[in-house]
């Protein structure tokens, strides 16, 4: 890794995209029912908006839009599918925060949805958001050919479902009872956090009607940075507490959580991260300067921990 701080133009690009996604989500999450809907209950919509709007770096939408931009498809379609992806991400946060899951009271400094409303409403808000994501992708307003819309629905469902994110969350619950081995940790993380990040990059290529080898390349790029994302997260937990609290390891270690950092240590993890950024950069090679922002994104994801 040549450079360890995110350049200002990258931060600006990230914030720009986030603003666009926020606006798109705001428009999508009005209380006005769309064709085929009977009514949108106001309290449910408030809970949904609470869980989606007003925060977050919108990293997954950013990756999707930047991946699509590689193939000159930087328009409405990418923005809408990115918004759908963010709906899936936010549904997973709402359900993960529930008392039966992580039991969190706060998210981004605000009460979680089940605290601001109630548990039943939070469950339904998550269910509604997940459902709405497929609505948005399948809708012809997305201005993609039907073939592409159906393909993206399938790809998103596989990334989010029992064999992807939701399955990874189930493995994470199991891991609290029975510690996974190294392969188990890798699988868990690839499913729980990796699958949606991979989807972001691959979907961008599909929206851009990329040729098959390039779609594959973007999928592999997404897989590499998805793994980096999780490693950086684990490292952040291990090192930020070390600095802040003057102890050798953070709350994951305290909770006895099985992570690759816990297994291999901080130095090994930093080396892995560096290797993943190199791998990500290599995958973007054929795109030259056009992929500058995605390269910065890979670094941004990895350097969060330094």
The crossing angle, in degrees rounded to 10, of helices 59-69 and 76-96 is 160
Query: Is position 227 an interface residue for its own copies (rule: CB under 8 A)?
Result: no
Question: According to DSSP H, which parts of the chain are helical?
Answer: 8-28, 42-52, 59-69, 76-96, 113-116, 119-138, 146-160, 165-177, 182-189, 195-207, 212-245, 251-254, 260-264, 266-284, 292-303
Q: Are 281 and 295 in contact (CB under 8 A)?
A: yes
Tokens of 92: 């997973």
Q: Are 59 and 294 in contact (CB under 8 A)?
A: no
- Minimum distance of its own copies from residue 166's CB (angstroms): 5
- Minimum distance of its own copies from residue 7's CB (angstroms): 34
Query: Is position 138 an interface residue for its own copies (rule: CB under 8 A)?
Result: yes
Tokens of 129: 């958001």
- Minimum distance of its own copies from residue 188's CB (angstroms): 9
Query: Is position 81 an interface residue for its own copies (rule: CB under 8 A)?
Result: no
- Minimum distance of its own copies from residue 116's CB (angstroms): 15
Query: Is position 119 an interface residue for its own copies (rule: CB under 8 A)?
Result: yes
- Minimum distance of its own copies from residue 66's CB (angstroms): 22
Query: Is position 209 an interface residue for its own copies (rule: CB under 8 A)?
Result: no
Comparison of 98 and 266: residue with beta carbon closer to its own copies: 98
Q: Among 6, 20, 55, 167, which residue sits at the site for its own copies (rule: CB under 8 A)? A: 167
Q: Residue 181: exposed, middle, or buried by beta-carbon count in 10 A (0-12, 13-18, 19+)?
A: exposed
Query: Is position 171 an interface residue for its own copies (rule: CB under 8 A)?
Result: yes
Query: Is position 135 an interface residue for its own copies (rule: CB under 8 A)?
Result: yes
CA distances from 130 to 84, 125, 160, 291 (A): 9, 9, 9, 31
Comparison of 210 and 291: residue with beta carbon closer to its own copies: 210
- Minimum distance of its own copies from residue 244's CB (angstroms): 30
Binding mask 37-66 for its own copies (x = CB under 8 A): xxxxx-xxx--x------------------
What phi and psi, each to the nearest 5 degrees, are found at residue 110?
Answer: -120, 160
By CB under 8 A, which span of 11-19, 74-82, 158-166, 238-246 interacts with its own copies?
158-166
Q: Among 67, 73, 112, 121, which residue sits at the site for its own copies (rule: CB under 8 A)? A: 121
- Minimum distance of its own copies from residue 28's CB (angstroms): 11
Using DSSP's 3-state secondary structure scheme, residue 110 falls into strand
Query: Is position 196 an interface residue for its own copies (rule: CB under 8 A)?
Result: no
- C-alpha span between 255 and 253 (Å, rounded): 5
- C-alpha span between 193 and 166 (Å, rounded): 10
Query: Can you give the binding site for its own copies, defined by CB under 8 A?
Result: 33-41, 43-45, 48, 91, 95, 98, 100-101, 118-121, 123-124, 126-128, 130-132, 134-135, 137-140, 145-147, 149-151, 153-164, 166-171, 173-174, 187, 190-191, 195
């Amino acid at each position: 890794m040549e450079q360890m701080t995110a350049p200002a133009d990258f931060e600006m690009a990230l914030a720009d995209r986030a603003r666009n996604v926020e606006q798109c989500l705001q428009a999508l999450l009005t209380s006005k029912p769309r064709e085929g809907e009977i009514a949108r209950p106001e309290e449910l919509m408030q809970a949904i908006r609470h869980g989606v709007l007003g925060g977050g770096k919108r990293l997954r939408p950013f990756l999707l839009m930047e991946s699509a931009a590689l193939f000159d498809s930087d328009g409405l379609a990418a923005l809408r599918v990115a918004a759908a992806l963010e709906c899936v991400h936010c549904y997973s946060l709402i359900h993960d925060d529930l008392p039966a899951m992580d039991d969190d009271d706060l998210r981004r400094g605000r009460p979680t949805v089940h605290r601001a409303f109630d548990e039943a409403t939070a469950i339904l808000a998550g269910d509604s958001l997940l459902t709405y994501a497929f609505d948005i992708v399948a809708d012809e307003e997305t201005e993609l050919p039907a073939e592409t819309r159906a393909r993206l629905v399938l790809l998103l469902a596989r990334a989010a479902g029992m064999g992807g994110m939701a399955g990874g969350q189930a493995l994470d619950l199991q891991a609290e009872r029975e510690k996974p081995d190294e392969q188990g940790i890798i699988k868990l993380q690839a499913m729980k956090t990796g699958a949606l990040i991979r989807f972001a990059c691959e979907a961008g290529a599909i929206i851009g009607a990329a040729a098959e080898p390039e779609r594959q390349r973007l999928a592999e790029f997404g897989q590499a940075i998805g793994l980096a994302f999780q490693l950086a997260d684990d490292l952040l937990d291990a090192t930020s507490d070390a600095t802040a609290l003057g102890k050798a390891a953070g709350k994951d270690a305290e909770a006895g959580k099985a992570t690759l950092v816990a297994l291999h240590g901080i130095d090994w993890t930093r080396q892995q991260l560096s290797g993943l950024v190199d791998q990500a950069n290599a995958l973007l090679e054929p795109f030259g300067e056009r992929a500058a922002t995605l390269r910065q994104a890979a670094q941004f994801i990895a350097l969060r921990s330094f």
